[in-house]
Structure 1
Amino acid sequence: MSTVETDEIRAFVLSSLKEMNYSVAGVDDGTPLGPAGVDLESLALAELGIRVEERFGVVFEEDEAEVLGTMTVGEFGAALAARIASTPAAGQ
């Protein structure tokens, strides 16, 4: 059974944020993705969702972007790890 480690997810999220021109200086598991943290707006949250979908093969619904904006980096990583673990391996 292959599981994606939260460290791998965190590294991917931080790398994606850098590529999206967000500063990740001082960002840790307790940093909110939305206001008072990384400060991702709805379009940036959608882009992060798409990047995660492409990398890890999970799907986010459009209405989930609002919830993602309320999560910390650590909460997002844990939620993503749980979703990856519960998603059947894509063989197509």
Structure 2
Amino acid sequence: MNDDVYTFLTEVLADMNYDTAAVTPETELGPNGLDMESLAIAEVSIQVEDRYGVKFEEDEAEQLALMNLGQLVEEIVKRAAAVAK
């Protein structure tokens, strides 16, 4: 599932006009990487919820911005597994 989530996230980022050519699992979402702002993180969260049924609360946006792409993938997979139970 990790590969599916990673592919989905890179597609979402590309659709949001982020340059994903050099994106790796170690790419940070915040200022030292993609430099995503809170509205962009909220949009990704909405897309993830629609696709995987995983919900991130508004107050988690700051925490998400500190993650790298691989960590976000792991968090989505973990939460999706919990939802599936």
Same fold by TM (over 0.5)? Answer: yes
Q: What residue identity is the alignment partner of 1:54?
A: D
Mark the runs of 5 or more structure 2 residues left unpaired by the alignment.
none
Give the greater-gyration-radius structure (CA). Answer: 1
Which ranges of 4 or more aligned residues in structure 1 deviate by more than 4 Å? none
| Deviation (angstroms), 1:88 | 3.3
Correspondence for 1:11 = 7
Give the structure with the larger helix fraction: 2
CA RMSD of aligned residues (A): 0.9
Cα separation, 1, equivalents of 2:5 and 2:76: 8
Offset from partner CA, 1:23-43 (integer Å, 9 cap, x none) = 112110100011111111010
Instruction: Tell me the percent identity.
Output: 45
Q: Number of residues paired by the alignment?
A: 85
TM-score, normalisation: structure 2:
0.96
Mark the runs of 5 or more structure 1 residues left unpaired by the alignment.
none
Correspondence for 2:46 = 50
Cα separation, 2, equivalents of 1:65 and 1:33: 11
Q: What residue identity is the alignment partner of 1:79?
A: E
TM-score, normalisation: structure 1:
0.89
SS at the partner of 2:56?
A: coil
